[in-house]
Structure 1
Amino acid sequence: MVIRARASGEILGMASYMRNRETMGSTEVGCVTFAKKLQRTTIATEAIYLMARHVFEDLGYRRFEWKCHAQNAASMRAAVRFGFIYEGTFRNDMVFKGRNRDTAWYSMIDSEWPDLDAAFRAWLSPENFDEAGQQRATLEAYRKALQAA
C-alpha cells in the first residue's frame, strides 16, 4: 500500500502485508516506512485501520501482527498506539546487516477487532478534530472508553 497526501498526492509512506498464512488466518503488516510528515497523523492511522479492517472483515483472518526490531522505539510506540498488543521479544531472532536482531512481536486478534474498529472509527470521525485539525481525544482514550463500557 502506498500512502499519499490527500491534497497533493505526494507519496508519504508505504506498508505491505507479509507472512500471509491463509490457512492459519494470520498476516503481518511489514515494510512500514512513514516519512516524518506522515508519522502520528490522521492519514497514517487511517492507513493502518484500512489494512486491519481488510484483514478481519474482508479476509476473515484471526490475527494481524506487527513485528519490529526491539531497539526501534518509534515502531514499538506506533504498534501500541494503533492498538496492537505486545506479546514478547524473540531474542536472537535474526541477523540483519551483520548484527543480531531481537524482534518485538505485537498483534491484534479477531475477538478484539469490534472494539478496535469502533475506536478507530470514532477517532477518525470529523467530530474528533477541531478547526485546526487537532484531535480532541486520543485513539487510546477511545479504546479505553470502549473497554470500560
Structure 2
Amino acid sequence: MAARTNEYEQPIGVDLSGWTARERPARVSIEGTRCRIEPIDVERHAADLFDAYNQATDGSDWTYLTVGPFADPESYRVYLAKVAASTDPLHYAVVDRATGKAVGTFSLMRIDPANGVIEVGNVVFSPLLKRTAISTEAQYLLMRYAFDELGYRRYEWKCDSLNAPSRQTALRLGFQYEGIFRQAIVYKERSRDTAWFAIIDQDWPGVKRAFETWLDAGNFDAEGNQRESLAGLREAQARG
C-alpha cells in the first residue's frame, strides 16, 4: 500500500479521523472454560494465592518482579491489599474453576485510553498455573477483553531482557518482539534493560483464531497433552 501524503507531499500515517478514546478497563469478572478472571479481593484470594506461590521450591519466580518473595501470609496480605486498591495497574486474580481457588495474578497497566494502548504486566503465576491450559486461557481472556470489548489498538508485554522464560512466553502467545530499551528501569538495586513486545489490532484476528483453536477440547488428548502447539497453529494459519 502506498503511503499517504499531506499537502506538502510528506508521508503521513493511516487515517484515524474517526478514532475516539477508549474506556478504561473495569473491575469485571471474565468467565472462561477452565478459569475465571476476577478483580483482586483480599479476603477471597490472599490465602489461596500465598499457598499457591508456596508450591515453589525456592524464590526464583520473583527474581524479575519488583516485589517478593513474601516470607509469611501477613506480609503477602499487606501487599495484596495495596494492589487491590490500585487502578493502574488494575490487578486480577486467575481462579481455577475446577478447584475454585486463585492460582495467580496479573494486571492491565500503563493504561492509555487516548491512544488505545494497554499493557499486561505483573504476571505472577504460581506453579499450579504455569505451563497449563488454564494459564493460556487466562492470557487469552484478558487480551480478548482489551481488544474486543474495550477496543484498544495495541497490547504490550514488557520484561527484563534477561528474563528468558518471559520472552519465550510472549512469543508463544503471539506478541511480536520490538526491541530493547536500555537502562530503562532501576529495581531491586539493579539496572534493567527492558524487552518490548506487542500485539496490535490488525494482528489480533489471527492471534485470536489460533488461541481458540488451541483451547478447543479437541486439541488435547485423553491425558491433557496438546495435539498442536499454539505457535504451530499460527504458522499454519499464516500459510493459509
The interval holding the TM-score normalised by the smaller chain is over 0.9
**Match of residue 9, structure 1, among 100, 103, 110:** 100
Alignment partner of 2:181: what SS? Answer: strand
Counterpart for residue 112 of structure 1: 203
Counterpart for residue 76 of structure 1: 167
Residue 132 of structure 1, CA deviation:
1.0
Q: Distance in 2 between matches of 1:14 and 1:80?
A: 20
Question: Which of structure 1's runs of 4+ aligned residues deviate more than 6 A?
Answer: none
Q: After TM superposition, list the pairs within 5 Å mapping 1:1-149 onto structure 2.
A: 1-149=92-240
Residue 72 of structure 1, CA deviation:
0.9
Counterpart for residue 71 of structure 2: none
Q: Distance in 2 between matches of 1:47 and 1:120?
A: 11
- Structure number with greater Rg is 2
Residue ranges of structure 2 left out of the alignment (5+ in a row):
1-91
Alignment partner of 1:130: what SS? Answer: coil
- Which range moves more in the overlay, 118-127 or 10-19? 10-19
Percent of pairs with identical residues: 47
Counterpart for residue 73 of structure 2: none
Question: TM-score under structure 2 normalisation?
Answer: 0.61
State the one-letter code of the partner of 2:179: G
Q: Distance in 1 between matches of 2:151 and 2:98?
A: 33
Q: Distance in 2 between matches of 1:83 and 1:40?
A: 16
Q: Distance in 1 between matches of 2:182 and 2:116?
A: 25
State the one-letter code of the partner of 2:125: F
Question: TM-score under structure 1 normalisation?
Answer: 0.97
State the one-letter code of the partner of 1:108: I
State the one-letter code of the partner of 1:89: I
Instruction: Report the count of equivalent residues.
Output: 149
Per-residue CA deviation, residues 70-124 of structure 1 (Å, 9 max, x unaligned), is: 1111111111111111100100001112211100100000001110010000000
Alignment partner of 1:136: what SS? Answer: coil
Residue 12 of structure 1, CA deviation:
1.3
Comparing both structures, which one devotes a greater share of its residues to strand?
1
Per-residue CA deviation, residues 20-73 of structure 1 (Å, 9 max, x unaligned), is: 000000100011001123112110000110111111111111100000111111
State the one-letter code of the partner of 1:61: Y
Alignment partner of 2:234: what SS? Answer: helix
